[in-house]
């Protein structure tokens, strides 16, 4: 139960973080290449502090990490965090495909696979 609750919290954090367009763009940029937080801030019509907060939300969700390179704090994508999101989305896609297939069977009057 504790493990299941932790996974739910992780998923909530991940999708909560990805629910914002600026954060999705930061993740995209982190996947494409490494940029410092100051460099990222130049892409958005908001303060440096606001961009730092967006990066912090993404860090807590496990989608990016920051590493010091000289004087810069470089943002990098955390591919394992992105894989967690992908796996959950894949499960939802499978669930909905099965439901659509079942609806098609009901509409066409075809017997279920197990009824044959």
Tens of pLDDT, residue by residue over 99-111, are 999 999 999 987 6
Domain containing 43 — which CATH number? Answer: 1.10.10.10
pLDDT in tens, 12-58: 999 999 999 999 999 999 999 989 999 999 999 999 999 999 999 99
Q: Is the pLDDT of residue 115 over 70?
A: no
Q: Look up the domain containing 33 and give its range.
A: 2-115
pLDDT in tens, 57-70: 999 999 999 999 99
Q: Into how many domains does the chain fold?
A: 1
Q: How far apart are CA 5 and CA 29, in angstroms?
A: 31
Q: How far apart are CA 70 and CA 31, in angstroms?
A: 21
Give which of 15, 6, 33, 32 is closest to 87, Cα–Cα. 15
């Amino acid at each position: 139960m504790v493990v299941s609750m932790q996974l739910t919290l992780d998923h909530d954090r991940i999708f909560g973080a990805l629910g914002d367009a600026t954060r999705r763009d930061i993740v995209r940029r982190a996947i494409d290449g490494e940029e410092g937080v100051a460099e990222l801030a130049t892409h958005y019509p908001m303060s440096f502090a606001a961009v730092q907060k967006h990066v912090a939300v993404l860090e807590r969700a496990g989608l990016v990490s920051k590493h010091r390179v000289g004087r810069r704090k470089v943002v990098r994508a955390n591919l394992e965090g992105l894989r967690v999101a992908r796996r959950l989305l894949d499960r939802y896609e499978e669930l909905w495909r099965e439901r659509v297939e079942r609806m098609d069977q009901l509409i066409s009057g075809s017997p279920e696979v197990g009824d044959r």
